[in-house]
Structure 1
Amino acid sequence: MANLQERNDLSEPMGPLKGLKVLDFTQFQNGPSGTVMLSDMGADVLKIERPGDGDPGRALGLRPDGFCGYFEAHDRGKRSMTVDLKTSEGVRLIHQLAVDADIVTENFRPGVMDRLGVGYEALKATNPQIIYAENSGFGPVGPYAERTCFDIVAQGLSGAMLSLGGGIDSVPVQGPWGLADQVGGIIFAYGIVLAVVARERFGVGQRVDGSQIGAMMTLQAGSVVPYLHTNVQPDRFNNPVFAAYQTSDDKWLTIGILTPKWWPALCLAIEREDLMIDERSESPFARHENRDWLHAELGKAFKKLPEATLLQRLNDSDVPCAPVLDYEGVANESQFWDNGYLVDLEHSKFENHRTVGIPIALSETPGRVQGPAPEYSNDTEAVLTRLGYDGSQIEELRQHGVI
């Protein structure tokens, strides 16, 4: 298999993964949220969906006008092909595609793809340099390994829901955005890229295993590691100088003071110079010991001044701060557009389509959003034609329910 440099003309700006071919069997969010990152960075991601209804994620949050933000967010820039993996001809098709594929991705329970004949060992026999990446719920081994898992299940098992709720005696709170799914997908993409680098350096394909609960451990490391040392459950987070406060015009802003140097500037900005010399707040230790009192005092001070005044004073003093925005505010905030974190994207069905962009900027090989999410099975015939199937053979596959 040729290396990436041999397959690309590096004189032209392109994503760093351009030339890589991905067979993507992932569905819902834990998986697609990772493979969409590969697409953004130039990889050709072919989404393999089951005949009939495809990825169930296509229906989550589906609007009356046919727009599915969930699917658009996690599957933009990919192609779509249908294959029934429960048929021998479908399995043969996948092995044909695997011959010149670089990466295969899936997020089923461990063993499912093996039983279908398209697991790591089977595809490795077809293509010894294949990178086979699986993103499960609980990891490849252990008593939970073969159980079904969704985002909320991983959040609960990993300790995140009690932590978000405020501690061991609190009511569990589910993190939003498909937290375990999304973080799991990001780490999944990280593992895949590591395997690509290893193959470029050492000439070996390999299996990559990620999981939702593994991702949640990494996300919570700053809280889990202290517990493992002390066996003391963390308290509800309460840091009055790392918090959000309401202003006199009923808006909210955040402050984040992690070092003492900003404390005097904050006190001056909110017109509470007395807090600099009050023994209950003059030192970091005192502020921690009297955090409930200080939180109330700061809340009263912020409530006396309008947001614009506070932001001006705090920014002039270089105190870390920002307004608290809703999504309308985010969509109108130039900082996101200027950096490409939000972008306009041409869509065949929806005018003025906007989407989330790419969070990483590379100076020489920049990524880009390659397009909207694919229509169901949109690329099946084109893929089969490339494999050498003619029209009558494609129709026969369709008649037999293979595609």
Structure 2
Amino acid sequence: MQTKNDKNNQPLPLQGIRVIDYSHFLAGPYMGRCLAALGAEVIKVERPTAGDAGRAHAFMVDGQSGYFLQQNMGKKGLCINLKDPRGLALMHKLTDSADVFLENYRPGALDKLGLGYKALAERNPGLVYCSVSAYGHTGPDARRAGFGLIAEAKSGIMAMVGTPGEPPPLLRIALGDMYTGIHGVAAICAALFGRVRSGQGQHIDMALYDCLVSMHEYAVQSYTLSGGAELPVQTGHDLPQSTLYGVFTATDGYVVIAAQVDDAWKRLALRIGTDLGQPGLEDDSRFHSLAGRNTHRLELLQPVRAWVASRSVADCLAALDAIDVPAAKVQNIDEVLADPQIQARGMLIEQDHPVLGKVRLPNLPFHFSAYNTTVLQAAPLMGQHNRSIAQSLGYGADDIAQLERDGVLYAEAAVATAEA
């Protein structure tokens, strides 16, 4: 577990960049988390009194959401009433000082507040404004509501997973949000680089639906290049176009085997044939090419399934490692967190939280030779940095106190306890 900075050779690449994160739940907050890890000052802006809807999302401990903690670490917290003209004025001062603005409201929603791209770009021409929505800001579905689940269903991804004849399963990870989030990070960094040359910011329009459709590495091209003859569908536990590549049942769990490459298959076939008393399996010419293995897939799968079913997961992996055939156990989360590889890669962070004490959360997969992007600063309490942010915009102590008394600036009760 990585708990301290051990790479201080250079300033983080986005140091000096100010990001206003006016987003909620996942895709936008994940972008902000990544930008904070890369060195940006990210200010999380929330509305009184509930804040980001992610704050109410499981898993909850002592009124704090692990969901929120994970996606908002490393940020400063500002909670402000934008319906009050004074709150909106403060927000405009903040956006005037910003390099990046993140939002994931339905297209057009922020125009009513004077926080749409056109209004903010007139005030701050260098602003990189990134919008995230289900369908994007153009097209017939632009103003329809949507979530990651909707995009997964419409994208064709859901139709390809699960057992034939049964309803597709839920993926249990927010694929659309996370994939869109990291694409947003790439686009923002590119826009900031472009601004160095042009001096101009721009509007980045990210859609969950677009991102998931772009993720198809096989389905779209197989359909278009076959003239519509190849329509990827549910296949269950293996890939018929990439035999042998799938999930198999051992005596005490599940194993995935990736022996789709000719040489790997031959090594596997020799081992299986020897163990099952079926010598010559590796010499069967029907299985010597990927096309042949795909054509005779069911005949090939039978001995493999029998071999795996006769032994434990550990025995399978030992045998497969010995012949250099890629394989792994299907691990549960407790096994993942205990995995020495994950620990060696610093993929768990330990942070000090003002309410919860020590918390452990997933790290980002950034590994630079000269940067340490592990964020040790916990996600902010709601309104935790109201005063310091307002002060940075030129507000005096009396002005800030009045805004607090009038509810324009709001902070949850735990903030006072943390500051005591």
Q: Which shows bigger deviation, 268-277 or 186-195?
A: 268-277
Q: Deviating runs (4+, > 4 A) in structure 1?
A: none
Instruction: Using structure 2 for the length normalisation, give the TM-score.
Output: 0.87
Distance verdict in 2 for CA 1:193–1:376, change over 3 Å: same
Q: Describe the SS at the equivalent of 1:244.
A: strand
What per-residue deviation string (whole Å, max 9, x for no partner) do you get for residues 89-140 of structure 1? 2221122112221101100011111221011121112211111111111011
Distance 1:64 1:17 in 2: 33
Shift of 1:346: 3.0
How far off is 1:351 after superposition? 4.4
Aligned to 2:234: 236
Give the deviation of 1:30 after TM superposition.
Answer: 2.0
Q: In structure 2, the residue corresponding to 1:144 is in which secondary structure?
A: coil
Residue 68 in 1 paired to residue 65 in 2? yes
* TM-score of the two chains, using structure 1 as the length reference: 0.90
For residues 182 and 355 of structure 1, do their structure 2 counterparts lie closer, same or farther at Cα, with a shift above 3 Å needed?
Answer: same
- Note if 1:29 corresponds to 2:26: yes
1:265–1:314 CA contact under 8 A, matched in 2? no
Instruction: Look up the match of 2:119.
Output: 122
Aligned mates of 1:303, 1:165 — CA distance in 2: 21
Matched residue type, 1:95: H
Number of aligned positions between the proteins: 392
**Greater displacement, 117-126 / 64-73:** 64-73
Instruction: State whether structure 2 residue 216 is matched by structure 1 residue 216.
Output: no
1:340–1:358 Cα contact (<8 Å) kept: no
Structure 2 CA distance, aligned partners of 1:91 and 1:158? 38
Question: For 2:170, which of 171, 174, 181 is the aligned residue?
Answer: 174
Match of 1:153 in 2: 150
Aligned with 1:323 (options 329, 353, 356): 329
Cα-to-partner distance string for 1:292-334 (whole Å, 9 max, x where unaligned): 3322321111122233332223223221112221001001101
Task: State the 1:265 CA deviation.
Answer: 1.5
Q: How does 1:285-300 map to 2 (within 5 A)?
A: 285-300=291-306
> Which residue in the other structure is 2:85 paired with?
88
Counterpart among 127, 136, 140 of residue 137 in structure 2: 140
Q: Distance in 2 between matches of 1:282 and 1:62?
A: 49
Q: How does 1:1-400 map to 2 (within 5 A)?
A: 12-165=9-162, 171-229=167-225, 230-231=227-228, 232-237=230-235, 238-239=238-239, 240-248=243-251, 250-270=252-272, 271-272=275-276, 273-278=279-284, 281-400=287-406
Rounded Cα–Cα distance in structure 2 between residues aligned with 1:150 and 1:65: 28
State the distance in 2 between where 1:119 and 1:95 align.
Answer: 11
Matched position secondary structure for 1:201: helix
Using the alignment, how far apart are the partners of 2:271 and 2:12 within structure 1? 45
Q: For the Cα contact (< 8 Å) 1:22–1:105, is it kept in 2?
A: yes
Tell me how far apart the structure 1 counterparts of residues 378 and 19 of structure 2 sit (CA, whole Å): 17
Q: Is the 8 A contact 1:24 1:35 kept in 2?
A: yes
| Backbone CA RMSD of aligned residues | 2.2
Give secondary structure in 1 for the equivalent of 2:256.
strand
SS at match of 2:105: coil
| Post-superposition CA distance 1:176-218 (Å, at most 9, x none) | 2122111111111121111111112332211111011011112
Tell me, yes or no, if the aligned pair for 1:16 and 1:366 is still in contact at 8 Å.
no
Any conservation in 2 of the 1:40–1:370 contact (CA below 8 Å)?
no
- Give the gaps of 5 or more residues in structure 1: 1-9
Q: 1:197 to 1:208 in 2, by over 3 A?
A: same
Q: Tell me what 2:3 maps to.
A: none
SS in 2 for 1:24: strand
**Residue range with higher mean Cα deviation, 45-54 or 57-66:** 57-66
Q: Distance in 1 between matches of 2:224 and 2:383?
A: 48
The structural deviation recorded for 1:75 is: 1.1
Amino acid at match of 1:246: T
Query: Structure 1 pair 268/310, CA: closer, same or farther in 2 (3 Å)?
Result: farther
Q: Which amino acid aligns with 2:348?
A: L
Residues 289, 172 of structure 1: alpha-carbon distance in 2 compared, 3 angstrom cutoff: same
Is contact 2:159–2:168 with CA below 8 Å preserved after alignment? Answer: yes
